[in-house]
Amino acid sequence: MRQKTISLNTLHKEYNEDFLNEDHDWTNVDTPMRTDAFEMSPAQKKEKIALHFKAIMETLGLDLTDDSLKGTPSRVAKMYVDEIFSGLLPENKPKIALFDNKYSYNEMLVEKNITLYSNCEHHFVPIIGKAHIGYISSGKVIGLSKLNRIAQYFAKRPQVQERLTMQIGHELQEILETKDVAVVITAEHLCVSSRGIQDVNSETVSAFFGGKFESETVRQEFNNYLIL
Ligand SMILES: [Zn+2]
């Protein structure tokens, strides 16, 4: 399995050719987790994170007796566990019901511009992007909002964009019982734009193409819908 991101100012130039026509091996797609990841309850995790975050703030020299700051450690802990990293808890995975494709729609279905808020696992600052998902039904169809929910579930983890793209693609292949799935993500990484190199114009594009989407014609059709 090879994966790459390409940094482009415009979205629709080209996708990575190397990525195509390969046997995908999914073993490296999982988020690296500790074996004791789920031993603590969410409530216990919040309590522990609040203590540690308080220590970080105090180390920075902040006075936590100040009215404005004193609630911050528990607010951050709650936000981490219940919101921005809630995708680390398997129980938060969206429940998906599929429907029979009664109307025999056999064309590509594309859900584009799905808003994604994730966080870079190297700096813990936001990744803000859009996901574009395409699939060709193998006989089952999915409620459209479920595509958004799946993308957002995987985004709510510390991430690298490549892994996020693959996790969404792989999950959709499993749920939809078809290899014919495409995922393209375009995103701004705040670790690139607000610190470090401080490039506010660069955007990262990553892509996952499975099954029929490995064909040039099908990929071209998908690209055309993204431009519309
Ligand atoms: Zn980063």
Q: Are residue 126 and residue 153 in the same domain, yes or no?
A: yes
In a domain, 160, yes or no: yes
In a domain, 1, yes or no: no
In a domain, 65, yes or no: yes
Q: Are residue 49 and residue 127 in the same domain, yes or no?
A: no
Q: Are residue 144 and residue 205 in the same domain, yes or no?
A: yes
Model confidence pLDDT, tens digit, residues 56-69: 999 999 999 999 99
Q: What's the pLDDT score for residue 97?
A: 85
Q: Are residue 156 and residue 210 in the same domain, yes or no?
A: yes
Q: Select from 69, 36, 67 the least CA-distant residue to 50.
A: 69
Q: Is the pLDDT of residue 164 over 90?
A: yes
pTM: 0.86
Model confidence pLDDT, tens digit, residues 46-97: 999 999 999 999 999 999 999 999 999 999 999 999 999 999 999 999 999 8
What is the domain range of residue 74? 42-88
* Residue position matching structure tokens 């399995």: 1
Q: What's the pLDDT score for residue 27?
A: 54
Selecting among 24, 47, 123, 214, the annotated active-site residue is: 123
In a domain, 35, yes or no: no
Q: Rounded to the nearest 5°, which phi and psi values hold at 43?
A: -65, -40
Selecting among 152, 170, 173, 189, the annotated active-site residue is: 189
47 is catalytic: no
170 is catalytic: no
CATH assignment of the domain containing 144: 3.30.1130.10
Number of structural domains (the chain) is 2
Selecting among 161, 167, 173, 188, the annotated active-site residue is: 161
Q: Select from 146, 169, 180, 138 the least CA-distant residue to 26.
A: 169
Q: Are residue 73 and residue 125 in the same domain, yes or no?
A: no
**Rounded distance from Cα 123 to ligand 1 centre (Å):** 4
24 is catalytic: no
121 is catalytic: yes
